[in-house]
Chain A
Amino acid sequence: MDVMAARMSILPLPPEQAGGPGSRAASRPMALSALLHMAALVPLLAAIALIGPQALAALPPVLLACACLAYGRLAAFFSGKRGAGEASWMAECLPFAAYACLQGTSLDVGSCLVLLASTAAMAAGLVSLEGLLFPRYRGFALALGYCAVLAGLALSLAWTITADSSDPGRQLAIPAIAGTSGLLLAFITRYAATRRRR
């Protein structure tokens, strides 16, 4: 079965088609793989550079980070990666998220990085949850659903932080709680997935 057809029909995939060592991606020449990877990351950098600081400043840093991570999730979908491959793609988007956040916000670097880490932890928790709930399924709807849930979490986090801007403690305490919850979710779902495999 063709890989794209399998994605669209949300059917379970054999492991060799799931981006693993024996997959079609692994048989590509190394230079072509590197070029394709580069071609996926360059548009993200170009978009952030072209949007400019003024437009970026209009959005909360958490939402900017979420947008970059969602881009990574979609790139993982189009390159046929699941699980650790998804997380790798999203991790690669972190420096771009930092660039977008620091360019727009007037927050100090430390606070900005805390927000970024919280969003990344929430995204990691969601990836693990997705891996637990849909271990062998893939599809564009699943990727979009993931992005929508992450955006919803980021929006609610941004709203909670700015709801009472007079309290500076909220700026760090709430993202820290959200990030810790994301990490806990990641660990619990990984543990549950391991137990289920046994």
Chain B
Amino acid sequence: MMRCAPSRKAAVAAACALAFAAALPIPLVPAGTGTAGTVLRLSGGSFEPYRFAHARLECEAGIRGHVDAVGTDWNGGERLLYEARYDAWTMAIDLVFYVDEGLKGIEIEADTGSGRQGLNIDLATLALAKAVPDEAELDRRASLRDLPLPFSSPKQARLPAAFRLDASGLSDAASQIAASCFCLDPQTGVLAVLAIFIMSASTLAAMWRRMPPRASLVLTLGLSLLATAAVAVVIPREPRIIIAELPRPKGEGPLPISGDYALDPAVPDGSPVVRYSTSDPGGLSFLAVSTPGKEGIPLSVLEGREGSLVFSSPPSVVARSGSLELHFERWTTGWMSWQHE
């Protein structure tokens, strides 16, 4: 799985360019379209990299219908940041999207009372309007930028109840955690359906061999369609996010990271969240996400601690039936960092 963000050199160069340009007196004017009173306006939102930005989108003509925000990366790529559908008229809606250092601009489009309206936001210009990030903020960004994101390799096995981590560094720790607990449940149900289908089809083919070929074809096709429907129903398509907290480091530098992990019993069965806890958590968690279908992970799972997040492939936020969901690529790894109270 490739990381979508631009190379680190490009990101550092972009950050330096922003820092130098901060002294220039460029006014911040988000570009909007439409006549006065009907344009989209965006307010709020810190747009700090590696966090979820919460902003308010307003339009006096009212908003109803499809709303989406598409981000443009520094490398020219585009990605969906936010998507929602509003069935009732509203004057303002809350947008949530994930921002990282690879994001250059955001284009928001919404169905309003005066037609489809758009709003372009240049994050570079927006950053210039704010104070230059302090040393702590730059350190935070640099540490997140440098976190290793291993190639995820889920295996078909039951989740282990416990495992031991003995890693030489963060990269090794991430790889070991992914190898130990990034598991997809064995698809016993589907295999059983297909085994029954093989036996039925073979028996019936032997019985039907004296039938006219066309009648045999119709019966075989019917049985196959039935089995296909059963596979589609039985195959597990639920998303899953595995969160494993790393133990607190004992000193400075890339020291060995070791600890015993146990499956958190507080998480109920059937929940998309699987947590592995250790005795002395250090404020950094490794994440592994599997989303085999169109269902997403609730945003609240990752926003609970108001930490910083970095992903191998940035997610999009989708508002569905009143709740916000995170939609990832098929398999994604990431890190979540937060400060202890």
Contacts and interface: CB of A to CB of B under 8 A. Distances in A.
Interface of A: 19-21, 25-26, 30-31, 33-35, 37-38, 41-42, 45, 49, 52-54, 57, 83-85, 87-88, 91-92, 94-96, 98-99, 102-103, 105-109, 112-113, 116, 166
Interface stretch (B33-41, B140-148, B227-235, B255-263): B227-235
12 contacts: A19-B213, A26-B209, A34-B206, A37-B202, A38-B202, A91-B217, A95-B193, A98-B231, A102-B235, A102-B292, A106-B292, A108-B294
Contacts, number: 118
A92 B209 contact: no
Given A41-B198, A53-B184, A95-B224, A106 B291 contact: yes
B213 A20 contact: yes
Contacts of A42: 198
Contact of A99 (B213, B221, B231): B231
Contacts of A116: 228
A195 to B, nearest CB: 18
B210 interface: yes
B194 interface: yes
A81 to B, nearest CB: 8
Given A26-B210, A95-B230, A106-B330, 5 more contacts: A41-B201, A88-B221, A91-B224, A94-B225, A95-B227
A82 to B, nearest CB: 9
Interface size class of B (residues with CB under 8 A): 35 or more
Interface of B: 78, 153-156, 184, 187, 190-191, 193-195, 197-199, 201-203, 205-207, 209-210, 212-214, 216-217, 220-221, 224-225, 227-228, 230-232, 235, 237, 291-294, 329-331
B220 A108 contact: no
Chain A interface main SS type: helix
B198 A45 contact: yes
Nearest to B193: A95
Given A45-B195, A98-B228, A108-B293, A25 B330 contact: no
Contacts of A33: 205-206, 209
Contacts of B221: 87-88, 91
B232 A113 contact: yes
A108 to B, nearest CB: 4
